[in-house]
Amino acid sequence: MRPVLAKRLWNKTCITALQVIQNMSTTTRDTTEAISTSGVTVPDTRLAREATELVRDTESPLLFNHSTRVYYFGSLAGKKLVLKFDPELLYIAAMFHDMGLTPKHSSKSDRFEVDGANAARTFLRHHNIAQQDIDTVWTAIALHTTPGIPQYMHPVVALLTNGVEMDVLGIAYSEFSDADREAIVAAYPRTEHFKEDIIQTFYDGIKHKPETTFGNVKADVLADKDPKFQRMNFCSIIRGSQWKG
């Protein structure tokens, strides 16, 4: 083979190989990229990676990014409070906490929080996780919209609610550094109109079963979006029961 032709073939081979490597790197980044902020990062485990892929394939980008931010904010809160917790369990709880809003996991009659908790339980059982850990994750997801209770429970239960309240409601916003907030949002962006977008997402996920919002904050979502929505009233139920007196 002539030297010039051999050189051309060698250069083409090197360029092709480089492109393959770059494509592989891009694919890896798309599925496993995680930032580290103040020592917090996504657990580098098979369980966490499979959860990431499953949730990414099931949820909208808005919910996926929201769920990931919830993990980071919850973890940072845990570090600040010097709580001992399993980052992997908190990550699973964060990633699955809104799965009940998706058509695939939304039941006809259960609260969306329970649907998400059940999806997480099925996932963890498939991976042979200890029942005690499954129960912790299930409880964390089931209670994440019930203020006033999670903070007195297992750290994973408390920190999931901390993360949700920070990302959605802005509770304790000033207790997180500008650097941490900016790094997390840069990696897992909020939409331009996230506040309205997340309210709409909540509504779309629960509007077919309004009765499941009795006694929880999602009734406010239905009242905001549906002028015909009528809240169930606790006092009216008491007065309307079959008991005498």
One-letter amino acid at 129 equals: I
Residue 33 pLDDT? 60
CA distance readout (Å), 138 to 111, 124, 134, 147 = 13, 10, 6, 16
Question: 């779309």: which residue's tokens?
Answer: 204
Chain centroid to Cα 217, Å, comes to 18
Query: Is the Cα torsion angle 148, 154, 157, 161 positive or negative in sign?
Result: positive
Tell me if 141 sits within 8 A of 120, measured CB to CB: yes
What pLDDT digit, counting tens, does each position of 86-130 carry? Answer: 999 999 999 999 999 999 999 999 999 999 999 999 999 999 999
pLDDT at 21: 33
So what CATH class is 35-191?
A: mainly alpha
Q: Are 137 and 121 in contact (CB under 8 A)?
A: yes
Task: State the DSSP string of 197-240.
Answer: HHHHHHHHHHTT-GGGGTTSTHHHHHHHH-TT-----HHHHHHT
Q: What is the pLDDT of residues 187-232, one digit of tens each?
A: 999 999 999 999 999 999 999 999 999 999 999 999 999 999 999 9
* Extents of the domains making up the chain: 35-191
Contact at 8 Å (CB) between 45 and 124? no
Token pair in block for residue 111: 């609260």
Q: pLDDT value at position 239?
A: 95
User: What are the tens digits of pLDDT across the range 119-153?
Assistant: 999 999 999 999 999 999 999 999 999 999 999 99
Encoded tokens for 42: 């996504």
pLDDT for 14 equals 42
pLDDT in tens, 14-52: 433 334 333 333 333 333 467 898 899 999 999 999 999
